[in-house]
């Protein structure tokens, strides 16, 4: 139906436009049309619908929607000018994230940055037309903005600089009307530390606000990190996984396959939410030239498994754990196993202490060493908290732990936050046995299913069974027989995990 409009490649300035920042990613028209393809075809023939982009940056969502409506409404509104007037004035609305992106969006949609200009394809009575921008302000309670969580004072920088109090999540009544479709690519994160080292996700606020407006459909492009992690995303993840109105989910393990030149750790996804619908979600996972689509319940596990081929493998692992067994998330230590942060400075004498790998073994002040878990006087396997630093594309084989980046710590030795204590035993032999298990591809594959960033915490070991028998040397062959892994499942595992000892980290 839309082949003549979007099926033939033509150069598009919005394919080439540079992003304002890593948090304000412009969406390529090709990706926008992939998102629009998720919707039922009948919405393009319904002249009564209202569409809202709550985070306009280039106006590409509204522009591509307009193209489809111009074709879909031709039978109902045969006069082209009447049809254009109706679509642009009564169906398409946007809220820009900054004043600058407001100009860009109007220029893209109306062919003029001023909607009341004689150059605008549709002449409005005001400069903004249906793409609004007005400077908002943060509202603080106990030191944090009640809408976005920004610390008080951090973004209050005067009227000359952006304060990123995005209208849509700071004001619910921008247009004072009901929308049927809310769609867009919202900002992903917001600085939450004065030294520019910290950032918290913000896209979940746009989704929650969209749901509060009671539309028929919601579709947004967001980072995939919410599947398993993310600061302050536990309740959001739970709500998404348990929401049967989430009908379709498309996941790019490599963000650059959706946004060329944009590296988002853990990938990018977009979804279709339909009010009042129920059932399993259609999940499509894209990596390289492979595309895997499955229909499944998203809440089978506490985190979202991005690839359906991994689900039966996880089921086998958790079946082995059983009701009374444990996973390694109950064995591996929490961060700061001995209470000392990563930037703790080595001392000239004291308790032998493992620091970051470039420093190695030095000393910590005895008074600074906390041993709440009784690790100190045992043999320990130390694993780095960021074993895949630098890798953000999980479509490539991933390696976590190997001989070169782990340490066996003797009784009496501790470590800083740069390390986690993977296990602690009375004998070195048990630690070596545990290490052989952790080095298997199967154990590391099960770990991978819960990892979506460069850091690894104890929570990420939630699918890795505790063998509870560390008297032998483990191998993948042994685990294949123990867990009942099929040849196809092993081929998939083998394709996702790097060989032990070959990782360049």
> Can you give the pLDDT at residue 500?
58
Q: Quick check: 68 pLDDT over 50?
A: yes
Mean pLDDT of 327-342: 96
> Can you give the pLDDT at residue 22?
46
d(CA 138, CA 166): 9
Contact of 415 with 337, CB cutoff 8 Å: yes
Contact of 106 with 113, CB cutoff 8 Å: yes
d(CA 143, CA 152): 5
Mean pLDDT of 352-362: 91
> Can you give the pLDDT at residue 128?
92
Confidence of residue 157 (pLDDT cuts 50, 70, 90): low
Chain centroid, CA 31 distance in Å: 17
Reference 147, options 163, 128, 130, 133; nearest CA is 163
> Can you give the pLDDT at residue 136?
73
Residue spans of the domains in the chain: they are 29-211, 216-306, 314-496
d(CA 187, CA 18): 15
DSSP 24: B
> Can you give the pLDDT at residue 172?
64
Confidence of residue 200 (pLDDT cuts 50, 70, 90): confident
Confidence of residue 266 (pLDDT cuts 50, 70, 90): confident
Q: Quick check: 8 pLDDT over 50?
A: no
Strand order in the sheet with 407-409: 407-409, 379-384, 419-425
Mean pLDDT of 369-393: 92
This prediction has a pTM of: 0.85
**Cα-based distances in Å from 189 to 101, 192, 205, 347, 382:** 17, 9, 10, 38, 32
> Can you give the pLDDT at residue 421?
98
Mean pLDDT of 361-367: 96
> Can you give the pLDDT at residue 261?
82
DSSP 393: -
**Cα-based distances in Å from 17 to 13, 20, 28, 220, 387:** 6, 9, 9, 20, 35
d(CA 291, CA 249): 13
The chain-wide mean pLDDT, for the chain, equals 88
Q: Quick check: 130 pLDDT over 80?
A: yes
pLDDT higher at 70 or 253: 70
Q: What number of helices (H) and strands (E) belong to the chain?
A: 13, 19
pLDDT higher at 166 or 228: 228
Contact of 246 with 478, CB cutoff 8 Å: no
Mean pLDDT of 247-261: 91
Residue for token pair 């048990």: 430
Strand 246-252 with 217-223, pairing? unpaired
DSSP 3: I
> Can you give the pLDDT at residue 265?
82
Q: Quick check: 181 pLDDT over 90?
A: yes
Q: Quick check: 2 pLDDT over 60?
A: no
- Percentage of the chain lying above the pLDDT 70 cut: 89
Confidence of residue 288 (pLDDT cuts 50, 70, 90): confident
> Can you give the pLDDT at residue 6?
41
Q: Quick check: 173 pLDDT over 80?
A: no
The angle formed by the CA atoms of residues 401, 404 and 409, to the nearest 5 degrees, is 85
């Amino acid at each position: 139906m839309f082949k003549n409009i979007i099926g033939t490649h033509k150069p598009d300035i919005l394919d080439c436009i540079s992003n304002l920042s890593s948090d304000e990613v412009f969406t390529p028209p090709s990706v926008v049309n992939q998102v629009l393809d998720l919707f039922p075809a009948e919405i393009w023939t319904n002249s009564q619908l209202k569409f809202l982009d709550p985070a306009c940056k280039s106006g590409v969502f509204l522009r591509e929607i307009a193209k489809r409506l111009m074709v879909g409404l031709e039978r109902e509104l045969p006069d082209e000018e009447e049809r254009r007037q109706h679509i642009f004035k009564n169906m398409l609305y946007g809220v820009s994230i900054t004043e600058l992106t407001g100009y860009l969006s109007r220029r893209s949609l109306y062919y003029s940055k001023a909607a009341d200009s004689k150059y605008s394809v549709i002449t409005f009575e005001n400069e903004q037309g249906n793409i609004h921008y007005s400077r908002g302000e943060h509202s603080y309670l106990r030191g944090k903005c009640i809408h976005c969580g920004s610390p008080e004072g951090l973004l209050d920088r005067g009227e000359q600089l952006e304060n990123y109090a995005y209208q849509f999540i700071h004001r619910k009544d921008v247009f004072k009307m009901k929308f049927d479709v809310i769609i867009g690519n919202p900002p992903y994160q917001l600085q939450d530390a004065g030294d520019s080292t910290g950032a918290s996700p913000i896209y979940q606020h746009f989704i929650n606000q969209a749901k509060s407006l009671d539309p028929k459909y919601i579709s947004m492009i967001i980072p995939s990190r919410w599947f398993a992690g993310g600061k302050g995303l536990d309740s959001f993840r739970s709500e998404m996984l348990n929401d049967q109105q989430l009908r379709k989910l498309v996941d790019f393990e490599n963000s650059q396959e959706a946004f060329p030149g944009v590296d988002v750790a853990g990938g990018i996804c977009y979804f279709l939410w339909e009010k009042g619908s129920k059932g399993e979600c259609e999940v499509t996972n894209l990596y390289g030239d492979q595309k895997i689509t499955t229909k499944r319940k998203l809440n089978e596990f506490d985190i979202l498994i991005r690839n359906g081929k991994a689900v039966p493998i996880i089921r086998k692992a958790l079946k082995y754990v059983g009701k009374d067994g444990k996973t390694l998330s109950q064995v591996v230590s929490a961060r700061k196993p001995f209470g000392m942060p990563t930037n703790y400075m080595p001392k000239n004498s004291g308790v032998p202490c493992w620091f970051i790998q470039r420093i190695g073994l030095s000393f910590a002040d005895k008074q600074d060493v906390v041993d709440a878990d009784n690790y100190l006087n045992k043999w320990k396997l130390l694993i780095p908290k960021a074993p895949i630093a630098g890798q953000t594309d999980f479509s490539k084989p991933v390696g976590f732990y190997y001989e070169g980046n782990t340490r066996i710590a003797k009784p009496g030795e501790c470590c800083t936050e740069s390390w986690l204590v993977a296990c602690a035993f009375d004998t070195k032999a048990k630690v070596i046995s545990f290490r052989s298990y952790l080095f298997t591809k199967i154990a590391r594959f099960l770990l991978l299913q819960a990892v979506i960033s460069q850091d690894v915490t104890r929570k990420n070991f939630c699918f890795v069974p505790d063998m509870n028998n560390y008297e032998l040397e483990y191998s993948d062959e042994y685990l294949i027989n123990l867990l009942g892994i099929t040849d196809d499942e092993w081929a998939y595992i083998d394709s996702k995990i790097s060989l032990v000892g070959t990782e360049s980290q």
